[in-house]
Amino acid sequence: MKTLINKIALNGAMLALTILTPFFTPLLAGGPTLKTFRIPTANSQPRDITLGSDGNMWFTESEFNVSQIGRIDSRGNITEFAVPTQNSQPSDIVAGADGALWFTEPSGFPFGIGRITTDGTFTEYGLDLNTCSPCSLTPTGIAATPDGNIWFTESNRNAIGKLEPATGAFTFYDLPTLGSGPSGITLGPDGALWFTEFQANQIGRIDTAGNITEFGTAIGPDNITTGPDGNLWFTEPFNNKIGRITLAGVITEFALSFPAQPRDIVAGPDGNLWFTQYGADQLASITPEGVVTVIQKVRGGPWGIGQGAGNTIWLTVFDGNKIARFSVGP
């Protein structure tokens, strides 16, 4: 089941604001810099962020009464689009093979997966209410594969879900470990989907045929990404560590200073992994060899992270209600 809504935004019209005076913190003359841009809607709770096919960054605004998708261009101009289903609390977001952005709606019943084109057209996908049981979707993480399909973690079903947009069909693959709490998911370098099992302290792998393998132990793994070294890297927010898992399933953990509470992680333009430290209000990086560097203070609770165009890293600042852009070099 799907529904199509065109260019939904605040009060039915797109809202675009230029933040004229962003906060600016130079780290070194001619070198890396941080700029922050305030989101027009107050207390929007920006969560995850990704690069779109249009060269802009797209992010979710997850506060229950806000439930919007945001877009920010390279100059800091922000446009917000209201998700058609109110109170859907959009969470994770990814660029699809079709050039659109796909996002999870954990409170979006009767839908659960959303799609927005770069011009603001929404489509929402849910189960067929005439045949489903149960009918609610509670997706968290989301990933896209080159064949156009969308994969997501589904906590209530303790499963990995697959959506085929062409037909609207959903398929669920039950996880071997009960109550595993699947959270983040990403496309791996081997063409399989790799995901975290927050409650089971494991990392999972599912190929596109639905075969699942689980690896442990990782303590409370949350978000996960593919690294430049061909391994998978993940955050352990309540264990204050960054984890690495090889394609063979060998896990290595790297300790961070308390109270780092790493939340999200992404491969950067410099061959390192970059991650947010929500508990410490910091942006940090880690080399493929495991050397951690604290890069920048980011006040207001840095949460989501994504690599942008050029040498840029973008963050959501959850408590501060801002988007931050860090330029890695001149």
Q: Who's near 20: CB < 8 A, 6+ residues apart? A: none
- Tell me the two tokens of residue 46: 């920006």
pLDDT at 19: 32
| Dist CA 244 CA 173 (whole Å) | 25
pLDDT at 330: 61
CB atoms within 10 A of CB 195: 32
* Secondary structure (3-state) at 295: strand
CA distances from 117 to 94, 99, 144, 170, 287 (A): 12, 7, 15, 21, 34
Closest CA to 139 of 159, 117, 168, 116: 159
CA distances from 289 to 4, 202, 233, 236, 292 (A): 46, 22, 12, 18, 9
DSSP 8-class letter at 11? G
Q: pTM of the entire structure?
A: 0.91
* Secondary structure (3-state) at 138: coil
- Tell me the two tokens of residue 40: 């027009």
CA distances from 189 to 105, 247, 312 (A): 27, 9, 22
Q: What is the pLDDT along the chain (330 residues), one digit of tens a residue?
A: 544 433 333 333 333 333 332 332 333 344 679 999 999 999 999 999 999 999 999 999 999 999 999 999 999 999 999 999 999 999 999 999 999 999 999 999 999 999 999 999 999 999 999 999 889 999 999 999 999 999 999 999 999 999 999 999 999 999 999 999 999 999 999 999 999 999 999 999 999 999 999 999 999 999 999 999 999 999 999 999 999 999 999 999 999 999 999 999 999 999 999 999 999 999 999 999 999 999 999 999 999 999 999 999 999 999 999 999 999 976
* The CATH number, out of the four listed (2.130.10.10, 3.30.420.40, 3.30.360.10, 3.40.140.10), of the domain defined by the range 2-327: 2.130.10.10
Tell me the domain boundaries of the chain. 2-327
| Residue at 262: amino acid letter | P
- Tell me the two tokens of residue 30: 């001619």
